[in-house]
Amino acid sequence: MTAKVYKANVVSRTMKKERLDVTYPVIEGLHDVRVQYYINSVLLGVINELIKKLDYYDNPEMTITGKYYIRTNERSLLSLSIEMYGFGGGAHGFTILKSVTFDLRTGKIYRLRDFFAEDVDYVKYITEIVKKQIVEKEIPVIVDFTAISPDQDFYIENNNLVVYFQLYELAPYAWGFPTFEIPMRQVCRMIGPGGPRKYCSFYT
């Protein structure tokens, strides 16, 4: 019988060469080494994807730095964010934030839709919350916001489901990554069968 895993050991590693200095997470201590290998391969894939997206290989002027944030690491749920900054000249560089949320027992990557049952219109539900918080926070949107994307960027932090937007996707550069929090206690009442039930059992 496979032992249950509730928390991972996250250690920092550095990818460093000319014009590139990235600190990234490596997972250790999981009972199932196959799950551990898979999670680490996904995270390394995200790192390489962001480096490529910031034009490191094609632009000899591009300098990239990166770091990560542990958003949640408990009750079999690991939510991490990778932040990558690239500067190739001009007034300022550009930053991308990519987040991934895993089930530490199986390696499953949770999508936003996994947190809601099939009969819940989660796009509409979250969109209404975002619209309300845009007004409350007085965010000067630069687009006509109508709805979140079905695969909107998100992470889990401080018992909240946090959806966010990339730079310039919703607000001016100075606003960084606009974030919108939804209490997990509220979300877990609508969770679907493919969602993080172990994590949500804390609220039931």
Per-residue pLDDT of 105-160, as tens digits, reads 999 999 999 999 999 999 999 999 999 999 999 999 999 999 999 999 999 999 99
d(CA 151, CA 123): 9
d(CA 71, CA 167): 20
Residue ranges of the chain that CATH labels 3.90.640.20: 111-204
d(CA 156, CA 203): 15
Q: Residue 86 pLDDT more than 70?
A: yes
Residue ranges of the chain that CATH labels 3.30.565.40: 1-109
Q: What is the pLDDT of residues 178-198, one digit of tens each?
A: 999 999 999 999 998 888 888
> Which residue, among 24, 28, 26, has the nearest Cα to 9 in the 3D structure?
28
Q: Residue 1 pLDDT more than 50?
A: no
d(CA 55, CA 33): 33
Q: Residue 24 pLDDT more than 60?
A: yes
Tell me which CATH code domain 111-204 carries: 3.90.640.20
CATH of 1-109 given 3.40.1260.10, 3.30.565.40, 3.30.1300.10, 3.40.50.10790? 3.30.565.40
Q: Are 76 and 160 in contact (CB under 8 A)?
A: no
d(CA 168, CA 121): 26
d(CA 170, CA 156): 21
